Every structure is written in structure tokens, then in C-alpha cells.
Amino acid sequence: MAESRSRRLIVATGNENVCRTCGKTGAAPYDELRTALGEATARSPDAGTDAGKRNRGRDAEFARCRTESWRRAIVRLAQESGASRSAQSRRCGNLAFSEEVAPEKAACPLLVITGPTATGKTAVGIEVARRVDGEIISADSMMVYRRMDIGTAKPTLAERKGVPHHLIDVVDPGEDFSVATFQTLAEALIREIGGRGRLPILVGGTGLYIRAVLEGYRFTGGVDRELRRRLATEARRFGSAYLHERLRAVDPETADRLHPNDLKRIIRALEVFYRTGTPISRGASAGAGPRYDALIFGLFLERQELYRRIEERVDAMLAAGLVEEVRRLLEGGLRRDTTAMQALGYKELAAYLAGEVSLEEAVYLLKRNTRRFAKRQLTWFRREERIRWLDVAKYPSPQAVAEEIAGYVQDYFRR
């Protein structure tokens, strides 16, 4: 594409900045991510024209920089003409759309692998990517945090087997990372990966992240810091369970999804409702229709087998040093009320390290809470009729599950 048809500006998330030419990094604040959209429009040569106004926001894309380590989330802002986006909507790289999906409703082919925790999504996703020339976009709300490796079951470099992974280790644990930010980054990555002729594969168990990408949610509500302050004061006086029940009265869907101790998200959900009169579960409204030509697989296990694997997984995390990982985070100054510390394993072991419960009690709570979390995940995913469910227990290995999915992929996307 001619340079006049595409103006690109590279900025960074985390603590990195990227050279426009070579991709080498330097220091830059994460706040640039929040302001980059407006900055790109202001710097664009046609920012003051009618075309520039039409493109503002719509054609600014966040995309992955391939020249730097894929353990970092480097973001490229690109403004492209309407003509180029129209051409892209018809074809992404070498992957054509299935004939049933209208081009204007599908920006790129997309494979999704999801399901409850402990069903082997990560291992299966990696094996599928190796078979279909894919790249993985993590759809896990806790894998975005650096230095939280064991408790999030983050795949090691060796376990990734050379498959590029995106949206892992994006921000520090004390920083904010919202579903809207995930959506922006993931959508740009899907376009870039497809544009290289490879298949983007969204892998993870955070249902809201996946739905936000598939349905193109438009996030609204703004920020009311004074309302947040009042709600936080009420939580200190009456406890987070009190606010959780208030949320249940106005938005039962979100209340079912959030743990009663997830105070930050509870306050945010109440803030959106009080500001807009609309529950956050509906306030993040869907777009005009399916955004991608998506093939979606869900991995599941019967309850007893799932619970057995959860028990084994927790024991393995403890043996791998989860207690020390949580201790290092706390000693590094991470507060217990941050979103990152609400993650399974971190919350329970932080209570143990604070002397509030014994280690035995903390482990019991972790296993119980993980079982409950898996149940909530299944409830969420069962609402999605497009998911093709695979019983993992019927396959001898993750490789066998991957072979099954890869066969579907070849038939669906390359006919």
C-alpha cells in the first residue's frame, strides 16, 4: 500500500517505546496507550479535513510490532483509507471467508478456543497453531500482568513451542487493564495476523473478553470519580458483600460473574448503572453483527473429572512456588485491593501471608473458589450457541484434540 494511503505511528504500552524503523525499544509510559488515539488523529496531515474527521477513531488501529519480542505488547496506530479497509474486509492474507458470511460483517477469519479453567486450552491452542500456521492471542484477563506466571498458568517460552503469543505480559500488576483496552488491542492483532496470511487464534477463558471481540461491544459510561469515592466509602463501612448485593438488584448477570470480593469491578458496574441507568452487561452494547468469520470451539470435562484436574493443578502450582510468587508481589509494594490480586490463588495466598488464615485453609479456599469459578465460566459459555463443544476426556492427548480442531479449520476456512 502506498505511503499516502497509510500513515503509521508507533507507540507503546508497558514501559517500552519502539523505533519506527528497527523496532528497538526504549522507555515510554503506559499512559500513552490511553491518549494515543487522539494524538494520532492530531498528528495526521488530514486531521482537520472531512476525511480526517471521518477516520478519527474508526481507522486508528492498535497492532502488534513483530520486530520486537512477542512477550511485549507493542501497539501500532494506523490510519488507513476506506478503500483499503474495504479490500481488507474481503480477504485477510491467504485466508478467505466462508461463503455463508457476508464480507462486510467479517473483517477476518478467526479461530476461538475457550472453555472453563483446567481443560487444557493453552496446550491445545499451541498444538492447533502449529498445525494451521496460526498465532495466539491470549483471552485471559490475568495473563496480561507481568510477574504473575505460576498462578495464571502462563505458558513458558519452552511450552509455547515457537508459536507467537500476544497479549501476555502487557502491564504491571498495579496498572489498569480493561476489557475495552483488550478489545482494541485484540482487534488490531487479528487484522495484522490475518494480513500476514496466518490464522489468528483467540485462546482463553475470559468470556467477556471473547464476546467483546466477537460482537464488537461499544463501551460507554465514562468515569465519575466522586461516585467511585462514595461507593468505596460504603464498602469500607459495610463490606464488599453489601455492594455486591446492591449490584445483584440492578444487574444480576454481572453480579453472577463477579466474586463478592472483586470490589473494583463491583464499583465500576454500579458506577455505570448509576450514571447511565443501564446495567454494564447491556451498556457494553453489541455492534451491527458478527465482526469476524469465527469458528469457535469450547473444551469441557464432566464435573468430577474437571474438579479432579483443578485439585491437581492447584497442587502443581503450589509445588512450583506460587506462595513465593505472591510473597514477592506483596513485598514489591503491590496492594491487595488491586485487580491483579483478586486473581485466583493470589487473593487466597495473600490472606495466608497476612496471617489471616492458615496455609491449609488458604489452599482449601483456592480449590473451592476455582471450582466455583469453573462453574460460572460454563454458565457464561453455555449462552453462546456458536460454540462447538469437545469433551477433552474422549481424546488421548492435547495433540489429538488439536488434530480434530485443525481438521475443522482446514474445511471451514480454506474451501
Report mean pLDDT in 10-residue bins for the chain, 415 residues. Answer: 30 33 35 38 37 36 30 32 32 37 57 98 98 97 98 97 98 91 94 94 96 82 78 90 92 88 87 80 60 94 97 98 98 94 97 98 98 93 92 97 96 78
Does 99 reside within a domain? no
Does 246 reside within a domain? yes
pLDDT at 176: 85
Residues with Cβ within 8 Å of residue 273, at least 6 apart in sequence: 247, 250, 251, 279, 280, 283
Whether residues 66 and 206 fall in one domain: no
- DSSP letter for each residue of 77-102: EEEE-HHHHHHHHH-BTTBPPPTTS-
- Backbone phi, psi, residue 215, to 5°: -100, -10
- Backbone phi, psi, residue 129, to 5°: -60, -35
Strands (E), 105-175: 109-114, 134-138, 165-166
Whether residues 7 and 156 fall in one domain: no
Whether residues 289 and 249 fall in one domain: no
pLDDT at 413: 84
pLDDT at 227: 86
pLDDT at 367: 98
User: CA 309, CA 357: separation in Å to the nearest integer?
Assistant: 24
In sequence order, which ranges of 221-302 are alpha helices (DSSP H)? Answer: 225-238, 240-250, 252-257, 263-276, 280-283
**Domain-terminating residue out of 90, 114, 142:** 90
Does 34 reside within a domain? yes
pLDDT at 282: 72
Whether residues 343 and 265 fall in one domain: no
User: CA 209, CA 166: separation in Å to the nearest integer?
Assistant: 14
Whether residues 189 and 290 fall in one domain: yes
Does 98 reside within a domain? no
Per the CB < 8 A criterion, the answer to whether 186 and 41 are in contact is no
Residues with Cβ within 8 Å of residue 366, at least 6 apart in sequence: 314, 344, 345, 348, 349
**Domain-terminating residue out of 62, 90, 118:** 90
Whether residues 27 and 61 fall in one domain: yes
Does 97 reside within a domain? no
CATH of the domain at 188: 3.40.50.300
pLDDT at 209: 94
pLDDT at 107: 55
pLDDT at 390: 98
Whether residues 229 and 195 fall in one domain: no
pLDDT at 284: 57
**Domain-terminating residue out of 283, 303, 326:** 283
Whether residues 161 and 266 fall in one domain: no
Predicted model pTM: 0.67
Whether residues 63 and 193 fall in one domain: no
For 44, the 3-state DSSP assignment is coil
Whether residues 116 and 202 fall in one domain: yes
From the list 111, 178, 180, the residue with the least C-alpha distance to 144 is 178
Per the CB < 8 A criterion, the answer to whether 16 and 74 are in contact is yes
Whether residues 245 and 367 fall in one domain: no
Angle at CA 268, nearest 5°, toward 383 and 336? 105
From the list 142, 171, 161, the residue with the least C-alpha distance to 74 is 171
Does 96 reside within a domain? no
CATH of the domain at 232: 1.10.20.140
Does 95 reside within a domain? no
pLDDT at 342: 93
Does 306 reside within a domain? yes
Give the chain's domain count.
Answer: 3
Whether residues 36 and 115 fall in one domain: no
Q: Which domain holds residue 21?
A: 1-90
